[in-house]
Amino acid sequence: MVGDSLTLNTDFTETKGDELHWKIEGESDVIAQIDREANKITVPGNNEERFRDRLKLDHQTGSLTITNIRTTDSGVYELKIKDSMNDNKYVFFVDTDGVKSVSVTEGDTVTLHTGVTDIHPVDSRWKNIDLNDQTRDLTISNIQRDQTGNYKLEINSNSMIVQRKFYLAVGEMTPVSVKKGEYILLDTGLIEIKGYDLIMWKFEDHLIAEINKGTNGFVKHDTRAGGRFKGRLKMHSQIVSLVIGDSKTTDSGDYSVHMISSSHTIQRTISVTVSGE
């Protein structure tokens, strides 16, 4: 993910061979190298605009770390280790993607799809967390404003170590209160769907509307929930929010918004009260 620190792990406790070269597949320039005979370590990639001062080469293991990952860092990285007898080649695939900062509202449930393997609650702020046993996704239910901050995870494998950071900004939740006949705005806080693959609005567990990034379409399910919203649902013209027109007192209740992306999921409950005339 963009902004991560990524280590391409050689899985050696100490490098073998006389020479070690890191390159990008299809390119001739060496970005990092170790010459044992000359007792010399150089990182030419740090002098190039592409990796300017973002490469670190472990002199003992030969592992290469790329800090503050960018989308332009995606590609296939080659490691060549030479000695008098052999010329060994290792290949590492690096893929970067986008979302870093996540804005949520107090009371939301947010899931960070991370692969984190363990977490140790240290105080009462973390009574509302859950770690999925199968996917290792981290879920914070009914998130509070004092849980705003940076979240960091580390994913370890035989070939690489990925360090990922999320910043959660928790805003204040405001209930929606309107008079009968006015419109109800179920706001996501988004100007555009970019960054999310699917957004769904529900009333009492009934799916009433959704936006699917894949189909680039808005779908109304206004015949569900007993047909109470039939002909009254539409998307806001300027922001990613659902509008319920000609509100009725029976529209009062809790609505949920689900915003899903590859890196995180937000579930938000919006309390709506429709008063009589």
> For the segment 168-226, what is each residue's pLDDT rounded down to a tens digit?
877 777 889 999 999 999 988 887 777 788 899 999 889 999 998 777 788 999 888 88
Confidence of residue 233 (pLDDT cuts 50, 70, 90): very high
What own/partner pairs with CB < 8 Å and gap ≥ 24 does 231-238 have?
A: 233/208, 233/209, 235/209, 235/211, 236/185, 238/191
| CATH code of the region 101-171 | 2.60.40.10
Predicted local distance difference test score (pLDDT) of residue 43: 94
Which fold, 5-94?
A: Immunoglobulin-like (2.60.40)
CA distances from residue 148 to 5, 9, 100, 126, 167 in whole angstroms, order as listed:
22, 32, 14, 12, 8
How far apart, in whole angstroms, are the C-alpha atoms of residue 253 and residue 51?
Answer: 53
Domain definitions of the chain by residue range: 5-94, 101-171, 176-275
Looking at per-residue pLDDT, the higher value among 111 and 221 belongs to 221
Mean pLDDT lowest among 8-22, 26-40, 195-209:
8-22
Return the pLDDT at 98: 42
Q: Do domains 101-171 and 176-275 have the same CATH topology?
A: yes
Q: Which of residues 141 and 86 earns the better pLDDT score? A: 141
Residues 139-144 have a mean pLDDT of: 84
The pLDDT value recorded for residue 92 is 79
What number is the average pLDDT over the span 26-51? Answer: 89
Q: Does domain 176-275 have CATH number 2.60.40.10?
A: yes
At 204, list the tokens: 């009492």
